[in-house]
Chain A
């Protein structure tokens, strides 16, 4: 009987708390969000980085999304040279026409289904929501930065003013209102597309079936949901 009490308390609390007030017609259980990134469409303009900073008040020098430019030289195919000046916010230096391989890779939180970052949080301040978005409860976060070092993709940082973990929310305040993310809205070439894996009408299903799509660091089995089309093997 005594052992049962805490469990009963938790159950009672969840009854008291009710459902959170998101959008009126938004149901947490009917979505499973991810993103599709088409490397062959990215032109490295930095629109996504600027849009993200505007939409989410990301401080200068910190990035929820950023763009990397890879240069795979003919001599060393396995060790690419990667640059990302100011996250690619103001574009990139012109790549020379030397016949070597250059391409852009936009990066953001992969919103992993089995994320290492949420598993290490000692206080339950970061979590994957029932609709598949990895979020930080900034009123609960202690700023210990365990999650920052646990993320294999380097997608988290400690907010310099708030002193708590901060990261991509997949524009949760937008996608719950039926809008797309700020980065997708601002992308001029459609290189980034928000995907709802639970929506049978979402074009992501057809795309995944008909294209060679990869995730970053699949060997880490993080269940990453940022799907990359035409991803080069040198990308880390």
Chain B
């Protein structure tokens, strides 16, 4: 007896099922990105893409390789742990090409006041002044070298 005598319709259905499954695999291989699932339910290559973004703040290590004179002025002062770019802004372009990209000197009237304007919200030990009373309109660097700000600690203005 032929067990598959009346099973033609089942084979046709099974054939359809196989074709649909192969189509599913083909579409899946096409639409799912290569690295999807590499680390989890996401595209693994995205990690490398995000890591490849451009750096704009060079980092104080980069500054210190050239500006050793400033480092010497800074290192014993109260601003020893203030990184260069905290005041001078993002300088990666300058670090990459020091000859053609020259940083603009920051305006001390704005810069110093940002941190040192007196406010009850600031930590009690932090040096704070009321700018109008403290300087009578003189620029901060008349008395303070921003790289070593205690007056008399280092002769001269901003270096």
Contacts and interface: CB of A to CB of B under 8 A. Distances in A.
A188 B115 CA distance: 8
B7 interface: no
B76 interface: no
B25 A9 contact: yes
A129 B35 contact: no
B147 to A, nearest CB: 13
A172 B86 contact: no
A128 B51 CA distance: 14
A233 to B, nearest CB: 17
A47 B37 contact: no
A186 B83 contact: yes
Interface of B: 21, 25, 28-29, 32-57, 59-60, 79, 81-83, 85-87, 89-90, 114-115, 117-123, 126
A54 interface: yes
B114 A189 contact: no
Contacts, number: 169
Nearest to B56: A55
Interface residues of A, number: 66
Interface in A1-43: 2, 5-6, 9-10, 13-14, 16-17, 20-23, 26, 28, 40-43
Given A9-B29, A54-B89, A104 B59 contact: no
Contacts of B53: 56, 169, 172-173
Interface of B, secondary structure class, is loop
Interface in A161-192: 169, 172-174, 176-177, 179-180, 182, 185-190
Given A92-B119, A95-B121, A55 B37 contact: no
Contact of A94 (B28, B56, B114, B119): B119
A215 interface: no
Interface string A76-108: 000000000000000110111110101110000
Contact of A46 (B37, B42, B114, B123): B114
B22 to A, nearest CB: 11
Nearest to B41: A124
